[in-house]
Structure 1
Amino acid sequence: MEEVLASGFWFGAVMAFLHTPYDGSKQPFSVGLEPAGEAEWLETDEAFLPQLARKQDLLASARETVFQAKEDTVDAQREVLDLVVSNLRSRPDAYPDWSGGLPVLRHENGEAVFAGGPGEPELLTASRFIQEDLVLMRKSDAGYYLAAACLCFPSSWSLADKFGQSMHGIHEHVPDFNTGRMGQVVARIFQNLQTSQLLARYNWSIYDTLELHHPKPKSLSPQILDGSLASLGALFIRVERQTLRRLPGSGDILFTIKIHHDPISQLQRDPRGCALVGSLREQLLGLSADQLAYKGLMPFRDALASALSRMAAAESEALA
């Protein structure tokens, strides 16, 4: 581990750029689901401790903001906790210590931390142990709706605004979701998803903050409009890794959402640096006006593309 950013998140050669959905292998604003295995369902990386600590802070100070659940989701929440516990039991790298059937995380002095209190909702307890956020979607006559969630690290959307809404309402502002093919594809996937299936998908955006709790619309700093290479120094590629699976008991669909924050400046240190810079620029330039507006990038596209061109040129010169 080579450096600690001001917010306390670690970044080094191992952690950065684990997932690069902007590398040309996937198209923005597409479903892009792919099979995943149980072993990689939950991810643990170098941000494990600070991200769990940030969750702890949010659950203590803003619980109503980050946790909501319908009263009739108790059994489904228990299913989620059981799944998380079962997965973590096979992950001694994350939790070598267990007590009362639940994992225990300890400080170096041996003090247990991140433990839930008596009577705590089990979806919330499950979320305390993992970097992922957890969202339960339940079927109704009007389609699937958001029935429960522990959402500590939203990417510019609010649980309070979306709780109880249908997929149509949740994605109201996503370009082409409700008016194009994407919403129809998602509806068919939800209808046909089997309990034996575990699927994953990715999306990306660009932020100028490392804060993971981001419920408000994103607005980048105007300083990046100069298009200079230096302007990229304060920017991060925020990658969401989402998984979905059907719970065998309730039939609800469980989403997990894991956030990766990669400094754009570190692209130069990745072996794929030139290629990743180029593909990020191409995807940025390929976004429609509506897609750019949704990502909060409309005023910044040309400046970002110019800065990325400068980065690619500098890297090519360094390799020559």
Structure 2
Amino acid sequence: MQSPGPPPPFAHTPYDGSSYPFTVGLRPIEELTWLEPDPLIADHLARKRELISGALESVFRAEADMIQAQHEVLDLICENLERFHSASHRFEKRKVFVAGVSEPVCIDHGPPLLAASLIVQEDLVIMRASPEGYRLAAASLCFPSSWSLEEKFSKPMSKIHENVPGFNGARMGRTVERLFENLKPGQLVCRYNWAIYDDANLYHPKPKQIEPAVRDADGNFLANLFLRVERQTLKRLPKSRDILFTIKVHHDPLSFLRAQENRHDIARGLRNQLLALKDDQLTYKGLARHREALADELSRLVNSEGRST
């Protein structure tokens, strides 16, 4: 058993025009690509274990009647890993050996959703239908991007997204609700979000503002920033009819960008989306104070020597 091949930095680039911020942007995917184990899996799982052992209620919540849905999620994830990811995951009875992790995970120990979260890098959220719309009924959420499970637990989507510009009272919220209602068993879709942070932490439960001190000695921004891309998937659980929402975080130092062969295209796409954000969207992403400086630095990278065609 070995770790998967190394993922390239900037493995997903939703800012290249393939999707846009504050839109739904769902696309179909195959079961083969549903989960994304990569060489960082041991580090990510170690961080999950730290958070779970130190602040369980901050990263795991489940309503009392969610146990069967949790089992359903665990079974689906184990089935997918056994089928498509035997290079990184090995199963012996009810124990799972993960590449790079010294101790196996006993998947019969503790809440099933928590066990599932300890064998994949993805965070796992179960949404259940209610009169107010789909609500967050169970979750193992160790790597949130500026939102708190403690605050959002058991709330419907309208409350979960009440601070997201353009979600409530606009087409986006209604579109998402219809998608949840109409998603069929066997369908698998994904979407992407991106954000910029000034540290390498995966656990970000509070809103983030980039600090002025992120410039390096030469006055550059990119050297101390991280581009965070969330790959989100949706799958209807065939038995409970709940929706499983997965979130895989890719958190790349922007300093890596200068070494990428396609750096000009990445910088151009990111700059274009940054400049297209409205004021409330910039504030939500924590970029209101630094958009122009970031755009200028990305522009210099776009126009640097070796520009791609």
Q: Same fold (TM over 0.5)?
A: yes
TM normalised by structure 1 equals 0.90
Q: Work out the CA distance in 1 between the residues paired with 2:6 and 2:245.
A: 29
Are the counterparts in 2 of residues 226 and 303 from structure 1 also a CA contact under 8 Å? no
Q: Which runs of 4+ in 1 moved over 6 A?
A: 225-229
1:58 correspondence with 2:51 = yes
Are the counterparts in 2 of residues 224 and 304 from structure 1 also a CA contact under 8 Å? no
1:123 correspondence with 2:117 = no
Are the counterparts in 2 of residues 123 and 150 from structure 1 also a CA contact under 8 Å? yes
Q: Work out the CA distance in 1 between the residues paired with 2:267 and 2:6.
A: 16
Unaligned runs of 5+ in 1: 1-11
Q: Work out the CA distance in 1 between the residues paired with 2:70 and 2:283.
A: 35
Match of 2:287 in 1: 297
TM normalised by structure 2 equals 0.93
Match of 1:240, SS state, is strand
Q: Which moved more, 1:298-307 or 1:155-164?
A: 298-307
Q: Work out the CA distance in 1 between the residues paired with 2:305 and 2:107.
A: 48
Match of 1:86 in 2: 79
Q: Work out the CA distance in 2 between the residues paired with 1:228 and 1:302.
A: 17
1:147 correspondence with 2:140 = no
Displacement of 1:151? 0.1
Displacement of 1:275? 1.2
Q: Work out the CA distance in 2 between the residues paired with 1:308 and 1:262.
A: 16
1:112 correspondence with 2:139 = no
Match of 1:282 in 2: 272
Displacement of 1:224? 4.4
Rate the CA distance shift 1:105–1:316 in 2: closer, same or farther, 3 A: closer
1:215 correspondence with 2:209 = no
Match of 1:246 in 2: 236
Displacement of 1:295? 0.3
Q: Work out the CA distance in 1 between the residues paired with 2:126 and 2:244.
A: 5
Are the counterparts in 1 of residues 96 and 105 from structure 2 also a CA contact under 8 Å? no
- Aligned 1:124-203 pairs, distance under 5 A: 124-203=114-193
Rate the CA distance shift 1:229–1:32 in 2: closer, same or farther, 3 A: farther
Match of 2:166, SS state, is coil
Match of 1:242, SS state, is strand
Q: Work out the CA distance in 1 between the residues paired with 2:263 and 2:86.
A: 33
Displacement of 1:117? 7.2
Matching residue's letter, 2:182: N
Q: Which moved more, 1:237-246 or 1:258-267?
A: 258-267
Percent of aligned pairs with the same residue?
50
Q: Work out the CA distance in 1 between the residues paired with 2:240 and 2:74.
A: 13
Rate the CA distance shift 1:117–1:65 in 2: closer, same or farther, 3 A: farther
Unaligned runs of 5+ in 2: none
Are the counterparts in 2 of residues 70 and 148 from structure 1 also a CA contact under 8 Å? yes
